[in-house]
Structure 1
């Protein structure tokens, strides 16, 4: 049986917990028996990514063709940084759209939803994001709902920062069953939030 592949895409200014929280959930799920391989990746080859709180992260490769693609947030309110810079650059939103078109389940954490919006994946869909980006997300014709995690099938969104843990745990449950997700929740001593969708 082939592993489900998950990739979490990093960029300079990414919020640490948005990326590392889901990574830890997925790694714990694999240890709990889920057939899941997870990698931290970048759009282009680079030695290090500097996150929003100056954590330096060494990516494990470049963006491939994952089954699940997690798009973190960070830096939406600051010009030329993080998500704002990524959206203005346009290459990552295009790459996200390509992976979606190729059948990947795409999920965002926090203001990563703005990258999905730029990729035209949220128009007319229920979605959520960090409160600082709600008005901007609504301007992209997303149906913004006040929930920690919104599951709209092949596109999921999570609210601010710690909601990435809920998103990842929900994806584990959805793909690998409640027993695995419950084991991971207990291992991480984390009480999950509600899911919309």
Structure 2
């Protein structure tokens, strides 16, 4: 199983790390040694909204062929929804087994044409913006539409990561990862 974690300038670091941590534990805790992942970006230099620098392992390469493509949110989404090159690159994830986003990452999926006719969620402050891409904006922590899973605001990235772990490896693995993370909440 192969994951692509999308990063970009202006993303929210917790949006990325919140799901990255539980998902990569599938391998690091020995549940699924075959899991691999790439940190994918459209540009070589990436900083979160506070200036923290991230280093991608793949730059501008198509996102096809991944089992899971994960897109974080952040204020950078507001510019990227207008960036035709970035959106075309993101659209190469169209045939992935699962597309996931948290917070305003759903705006990017929508702008790339990947939400059509699907229910989705985002940070509550972005619901009106999200309606431009889907009329079915849902006020839930995690919304599962089969091969499209979206999470609400920033902190829900942990919940979304654990939710995806359960989809991939089952409730027992999720419970063990959650325990190792010392995560006491409902996810």
Q: Same fold (TM over 0.5)?
A: yes
Equivalent residue of 1:103, what SS? Answer: coil
For the residues of structure 1 that align with 2:132 and 2:46, how far apart are their CA atoms? Answer: 30
In structure 2, which of residues 155, 177, 182 is the aligned counterpart of residue 184 of structure 1? 177
1:165 to 2:158 alignment? yes
Which residue does 1:128 correspond to in 2? 121
For residue 68 of structure 1, what is the aligned residue in structure 2?
68
The reply on whether 1:97 has 2:96 as its aligned counterpart is: no
Deviation at 1:193, TM superposition (A): 4.0
Alpha-carbon RMSD: 1.6
For 1:6 and 1:42, the matched residues in 2 are separated by: 13
Structure 2 Cα separation of the partners of residues 166 and 189 of structure 1 = 13
Distance in 2 separating the partners of 1:142 and 1:96: 21
Q: Which moved more, 1:105-114 or 1:119-128?
A: 119-128
Q: Which moved more, 1:117-126 or 1:6-15?
A: 117-126
C-alpha separation in 2, matches of 1:114 and 1:192: 27
Looking at structure 2, the residues matched to 176 and 83 of structure 1 have their Cα atoms a distance apart, in angstroms, of 31
Asked if structure 1 preserves the Cα contact closer than 8 Å seen for 2:68 and 2:96, the reply is: no
Contact kept? 1:123, 1:141, Cα under 8 Å? yes
Superposed structure 1 runs of 4+ greater than 6 Å apart? none
Q: CA deviation at 1:123?
A: 2.7
Structure 2 CA distance for aligned equivalents of residues 117 and 193 of structure 1: 28
Tell me the equivalent position of 1:113: 106
Q: TM-score if structure 1 supplies the norm length?
A: 0.85
Comparing 28-37 and 127-136, the one that deviates more: 28-37
TM-score normalised by L of structure 2: 0.90
Q: Which residue of 2 aligns with 1:88?
A: 82
CA contact under 8 A between 1:127 and 1:142: conserved in structure 2? Answer: no
Unpaired segments of 5 or more residues in structure 1?
76-81
